[in-house]
Structure 1
Amino acid sequence: MLNKFIESEVSKIIQNNKMEKNQICENNISKEEKSNENLKLSKSCETGPLTPHQNSEKAYKIRKDAASFQKDLPMPGHPCNTDEGLYSKKIANYSKALPHNKLGEVKIRAYNIWIKALTTGNPEMFEDLPLGGVRKFANPQASYAFDLEGPNSHQLTMPAPPNFNSAWMASEMAEDYWRALTRDIPFAEYDTDLLIHEAVYDMSNFSDYHGPKHGGVVTTGTLFRGNTAGDLVGPYISQFLCKDVPFGTKIFKQQYRTALAAKDYMTSYDEWLNIQNGGVSSSSDVFDPKPRYIRNGRDLGEWVHRDFTYQSVLNTCLILLSFGDKALCSENPYLYSKTQVGFITFGSAYILDLVAKSARIALEAAWFQKFLVHRRLRPEEFGGRIHNNLIGVTNYPINSELLNCKAISKVFNKYGTYLLPMAYPEGCPTHTSYPAGHACIVGAGVTMMKAFFNEDFIIPNPVVASADGLSLYSYSNRPLTIGGELNKLASNISLGRDTAGVHWRSDGTEGLKIGEAVAIGILHDFKKTYNEDFKGFCLKKFNGTTVTI
């Protein structure tokens, strides 16, 4: 009887709870119906030529058309130099961070596991990579990333890098040796320095050197410079790495911490091998106690060691914006407006956003090429091949022009090995060489700025750093233009990594073109998103041709 009574009471409680829940639901439905009724009765307040539905349809069409345009572009091939298949010991390919033997040759089983992970794209396989030390690979899975603006990274192509045994490769490595030997010589003293003159003579003897020349030979005015027209005009360092940067309420002087002179790394074989295996350097950076303007290769190499991704182009954009409307390109629809100025579109907020946006998307394109196409070895790795050849323990097919150049013997006389003296204790990053990430970033950012600023505008009050980097002097020779100094900035940032020993010239020159293509693709996607009476973007590419978007 007691159990039946309890069951009856529990049943009543359950029934009461159900009734309360139903009442709550009815009340909520009633409130929702009233709310919807109020929305129907309230008047819509938006203005403009399109209704919300029309606006949504137009936005969809613009996005769909942009995606279709990128999709329908011809799919390029991705040529490589075929060295990976030619050399069974993988001596011509990047392998840093994997385990190596005493000759610095990667252990083939480990290399094959790495290639299988890259081929499958399986995230779990990347977690099983056989590292040789404590350093990890730098984001290889970014090579598969997709983006929603601009070209898909797989739709951009670049030429194959020089072959391991070529005269072209020999010239690029010799240039890196000379950059290392001359890091502490001020750019202002290139015309008179004897070591620079030796470098000029030596580099002129290479049969397939792709750097700039004057009268068919390398000169003190062309040595270590880029190949654009702006590179050979005026001081070595771009105005955008010298002039004050207006940073909000603060004026930022471009004096930077730099590394101490005559301090190079990885010149002992044991240290070099340890670093190739992903070990931690036994050395650490030694810094100059005085901040300086960039005045030599070591300063520039340290700048591109510590910068954040788009620092160079951000600073440059802030400088350009400080020049005012007179520095804007003639295509800007607000340049001659009587009642409006640009801001969210065609103004500072917009330009700064596109410069930053293009930098990251350019890196995606770089990572695809680095990991899934080329896997080019770094100069420090090649230095080990040269060293082992010249001490007689290997017989790699290294071009004789390199083995017989003056730079090689000078390095041995100074350090006792043939290894490439590095500016950074850790050497290169743990991602492959071609193309250079810095080059892709600056190539994209510079191209964006060319689209918004007048490339023929003459930069006011140009300057040049003193030989000690402690002050700036007025420069009063040939006029320096925005376009020329943007090109020079691009070369400074990309080839500055060569000065540190972590990249090749072609990594930089071809990386700039990848970044440029990314920026042009993004601008194409955005060209139909404006309400303004806008005719399109016009800019001059790194190769000197003009393109209209």
Structure 2
Amino acid sequence: MAPSCAHLPAAPCMPDGLTPRLKHAFARRFNTATWQADVAVPPHMTNGDEQKYGDKCGTYTKCIKQASPSKVDLNAYKLFRHALDTGHYHDFEAVPLGGTRTLNGPMGSYAYTLCGSDPSQFGDAPSPENQESFTVVPPAPALASPAYATELIELYWASLLRDVAFTDYPQSNIAQDAAAELSNSADYAGPKHHGKVTPELLFRGRFHGETDGPYMSQFLLAKTALGALPIDQRYVTYLPGIDYMTDLATWSDVQNGISTGLQNQSDPTLRYLNNGRGLAAWTHVDVLFQAYFNAFLVLQTIGAPLNPGIPYAHSKIQNGFGTFGGPDFAATLGTVAKIAINEVWYQKWPIHLRHRPESGGGLVQLIQDGVLFDGSPDSAVFNSQALKQSYGKYGSYLLSQAFPEGSPAHPAYPTGHGTVAGACITALKVFFDGSFVFANPQVPSVDGTALEPWKGSGHLTVNGELHKLAHNISFGHGIHAGIHWRSDTDVSIQLGEAITLSILRDMACTYAEPFSIDITKLDGTQATITNM
């Protein structure tokens, strides 16, 4: 935890002639920068695939000029790696691409922040200065590991269940087969019940409250309003049964960054999000922190109380506004989201460079075709029921995609959606009472055209539904779309939490009100934001 803001020492480099207020302002900036400089820089360990495989078969190379399917042009890759090492704009401009699709914002990896910890201060170690006792960004599962195989198997199952309503999973033969196969994997990282994966637990996260109630978070279902604009949370989704990149020619074009000319086909009926395709469609076009700004609106609509640590929570004389009020809450979401996206980009590009699931599916297809690579996924993938059923549906071993262009043109690990999710839900926990219970929870109908009362037992809390929201959105843009691995999301949400805790410990010193706010973190332990 940061030193107290109540009695800031004078900064040694303070200019002469400042007014008393400017002296206080300068001291706050100097001292928060000094605190952040004292945060340790951890090791940044990778899974080793880039160094292990000379043909880069386990490394992100999408849109870089390809020599043949799933094999990057090594001269082009050398220039790409040089640009990653220097971080210079003009070096990236010299990278040979295979088509017209451009690399998605690699220069953001090298941006700095004036609030919170530097991206280099999060890595393969805990961050005790930011109240995190877990390893913040461990290495991603390696190509040949059982964990990688399990994640790819899970993705094949998700692709087969894309059009099945979450409420129909218990009756779905495919969901039952998926649960049975994943139950037998010691490396499956999703939740289990008495050691078994059930259909109801498929594609859920493991943070507190995520297995309570319906799959969909109440924050994606509850009616709210954006000022005078009513929002009933029925959305444009995509027509069922239309998947992409299931033939090698199209898949190869996409890896080169060549447009297929295909477009997603919108469903003319507005629907509540009730299946994997709906979540994928939502996350295909969302604004960076849209889900969490909407959650803020929902919290206001349902009358969720303020976090009891906020000084105005019990005041009968004043209320918050620019500090600890609506404008502060809304603006903070944008602040932490912007910082989080650049901080996770630092992990994605110059460090981990993890390839996308579509590349894993491509390796499986080409290895089945007899093409030799320096590495291969574990045999569990090739022997899986998921792969057999996917081949039976699509006639290939490629992993079907929800979008014609497949993944975005940046590496997989960790996710941008997940890091922003973790950052924003942490900010919302600071502002609102996470123990508040949703009254009258709802669940989408099977066809997604209506909401129905949830008839389960137990209570759905703000914190639990925020955790669920983070995974709904990040898995919507990941597992359900076919473009991210489970570990991409799980790690990124925790990274986002750490980033926001680092930001808010700095921002605490900008408030004139004395306060001490406790929140329950993703792992169930407490964190405190204070300026006293």
Normalising by structure 2, we get a TM-score of 0.92
Residue of structure 1 in register with 2:485 after alignment: 504
Structure 1 residues 341-360: Cα deviation after superposition (integer angstroms, max 9, x where no partner): 11111111101111111001
Q: In the aligned structure 1, how far is the partner of 2:379 from the partner of 2:410?
A: 28
> Is the aligned partner of 1:453 residue 2:432?
yes
> Is the aligned partner of 1:515 residue 2:481?
no
Residue of structure 1 in register with 2:227 after alignment: 248
Residue of structure 2 in register with 1:8 after alignment: none
Instruction: Work out which of the residue numbers 9, 17, 27 in structure 2 matches 1:61.
Output: 27
The CA deviation at 1:118 is 1.2
> Is the aligned partner of 1:310 residue 2:276?
no
Residue of structure 2 in register with 1:482 after alignment: 462
Instruction: Work out which of the residue numbers 285, 288, 291 in structure 1 matches 2:267.
Output: 288
Q: In the aligned structure 2, how far is the partner of 1:538 from the partner of 1:281?
A: 50
Q: In the aligned structure 1, how far is the partner of 2:171 from the partner of 2:518?
A: 41
Structure 1 residues 397-427: Cα deviation after superposition (integer angstroms, max 9, x where no partner): 3201111000111111111110000000010
Aligned length: 497
Structure 1 residues 154-208: Cα deviation after superposition (integer angstroms, max 9, x where no partner): 1112100001001000000011110000001101111111111011111112231
Instruction: Answer yes or no: is the 8 Å Cα contact 1:84–1:90 preserved in 2.
Output: yes
Q: In the aligned structure 2, how far is the partner of 1:125 from the partner of 1:475?
A: 55
Structure 1 residues 121-159: Cα deviation after superposition (integer angstroms, max 9, x where no partner): 222111111010000001111111001111111111210
Q: In the aligned structure 1, how far is the partner of 2:491 from the partner of 2:120?
A: 16
Between 1:387-396 and 1:298-307, the stretch displaced more is 387-396
Q: In the aligned structure 2, how far is the partner of 1:229 from the partner of 1:334?
A: 28
> Is the aligned partner of 1:541 residue 2:521?
yes
> Is the aligned partner of 1:428 residue 2:407?
yes
Residue of structure 1 in register with 2:206 after alignment: 227
Instruction: Work out which of the residue numbers 370, 373, 377 in structure 1 matches 2:348.
Output: 370
Residue of structure 2 in register with 1:175 after alignment: 154
AA in 2 matched with 1:89:
D
Residue of structure 2 in register with 1:6 after alignment: none
Residue of structure 2 in register with 1:354 after alignment: 332
| DSSP-derived class of the 1:537 partner | strand
Instruction: Answer yes or no: is the 8 Å Cα contact 1:239–1:462 preserved in 2.
Output: yes
AA in 1 matched with 2:385:
K
Instruction: Work out which of the residue numbers 525, 529, 532 in structure 1 matches 2:513.
Output: 532
> Is the aligned partner of 1:328 residue 2:306?
yes
AA in 2 matched with 1:154:
S
Instruction: Answer yes or no: is the 8 Å Cα contact 1:240–1:319 preserved in 2.
Output: yes
Q: In the aligned structure 2, how far is the partner of 1:344 from the partner of 1:521?
A: 21
The CA deviation at 1:501 is 0.5
Q: Percent identity?
A: 39
Q: In the aligned structure 1, how far is the partner of 2:351 from the partner of 2:75?
A: 20
Instruction: Answer yes or no: is the 8 Å Cα contact 1:321–1:348 preserved in 2.
Output: no
Residue of structure 1 in register with 2:7 after alignment: none
Q: In the aligned structure 1, how far is the partner of 2:167 from the partner of 2:502?
A: 39
Structure 1 residues 255-304: Cα deviation after superposition (integer angstroms, max 9, x where no partner): 11111101000001000000000100132211111010001111011111
The CA deviation at 1:53 is 0.7
Residue of structure 1 in register with 2:475 after alignment: 495
> Is the aligned partner of 1:108 residue 2:87?
no
AA in 1 matched with 2:384:
C
Residue of structure 2 in register with 1:274 after alignment: 253
| DSSP-derived class of the 1:141 partner | helix
| DSSP-derived class of the 2:443 partner | strand
Structure 1 residues 322-342: Cα deviation after superposition (integer angstroms, max 9, x where no partner): 233x52111010111121111
Between 1:64-73 and 1:99-108, the stretch displaced more is 99-108
The CA deviation at 1:318 is 1.0
Q: In the aligned structure 2, how far is the partner of 1:85 from the partner of 1:63?
A: 41
Instruction: Work out which of the residue numbers 105, 112, 115 in structure 2 matches 1:146.
Output: 112
Instruction: Answer yes or no: is the 8 Å Cα contact 2:363–2:376 preserved in 1.
Output: no
Q: In the aligned structure 2, how far is the partner of 1:164 from the partner of 1:430?
A: 20
Instruction: Answer yes or no: is the 8 Å Cα contact 1:226–1:495 preserved in 2.
Output: no
AA in 1 matched with 2:357:
P
The unaligned stretches of length 5 or more in structure 1 are: 1-50
Residue of structure 2 in register with 1:387 after alignment: 365
Instruction: Answer yes or no: is the 8 Å Cα contact 1:295–1:467 preserved in 2.
Output: yes
| DSSP-derived class of the 1:211 partner | coil
Instruction: Answer yes or no: is the 8 Å Cα contact 2:39–2:117 preserved in 1.
Output: no
Residue of structure 2 in register with 1:397 after alignment: 376
Q: In the aligned structure 1, how far is the partner of 2:447 from the partner of 2:198?
A: 23
Residue of structure 2 in register with 1:465 after alignment: 444
Q: Which runs of 4+ in 1 moved over 6 A?
A: none
Q: In the aligned structure 1, how far is the partner of 2:348 from the partner of 2:427?
A: 23
The CA deviation at 1:52 is 7.7
> Is the aligned partner of 1:440 residue 2:419?
yes
The unaligned stretches of length 5 or more in structure 2 are: 1-16, 124-136
AA in 2 matched with 1:243:
A
Q: In the aligned structure 1, how far is the partner of 2:142 from the partner of 2:70?
A: 19
**Structure whose residues are more often helix by fraction:** 1
| DSSP-derived class of the 1:137 partner | coil
Residue of structure 2 in register with 1:417 after alignment: 396
Between 1:276-285 and 1:446-455, the stretch displaced more is 276-285
Q: 1:334 to 1:284 in 2, by over 3 A?
A: same
What CA RMSD, in Å, does the superposition of the two structures yield over aligned residues? 1.3
Residue of structure 2 in register with 1:259 after alignment: 238
Q: In the aligned structure 1, how far is the partner of 2:182 from the partner of 2:209?
A: 22
Normalising by structure 1, we get a TM-score of 0.89
Instruction: Answer yes or no: is the 8 Å Cα contact 2:307–2:517 preserved in 1.
Output: no
Instruction: Answer yes or no: is the 8 Å Cα contact 1:365–1:514 preserved in 2.
Output: no
| DSSP-derived class of the 1:528 partner | helix
Q: In the aligned structure 2, how far is the partner of 1:387 from the partner of 1:270?
A: 12
> Is the aligned partner of 1:197 residue 2:176?
yes
AA in 2 matched with 1:79:
M
Q: In the aligned structure 2, how far is the partner of 1:103 from the partner of 1:341?
A: 61
Alignment of 1:42-191 (within 5 A): 53-157=19-123, 158-191=137-170
| DSSP-derived class of the 1:428 partner | coil
The CA deviation at 1:75 is 1.3
Between 1:179-188 and 1:209-218, the stretch displaced more is 209-218
Q: In the aligned structure 1, how far is the partner of 2:31 from the partner of 2:258?
A: 49
Residue of structure 2 in register with 1:45 after alignment: none
| DSSP-derived class of the 1:58 partner | helix
Alignment of 1:17-36 (within 5 A): none
| DSSP-derived class of the 1:229 partner | coil
AA in 1 matched with 2:241:
A
Q: In the aligned structure 1, how far is the partner of 2:429 from the partner of 2:154?
A: 30
Q: In the aligned structure 2, how far is the partner of 1:107 from the partner of 1:327?
A: 57
Structure 1 residues 356-399: Cα deviation after superposition (integer angstroms, max 9, x where no partner): 11001001111000011100000001111000111222354320
AA in 2 matched with 1:388:
L
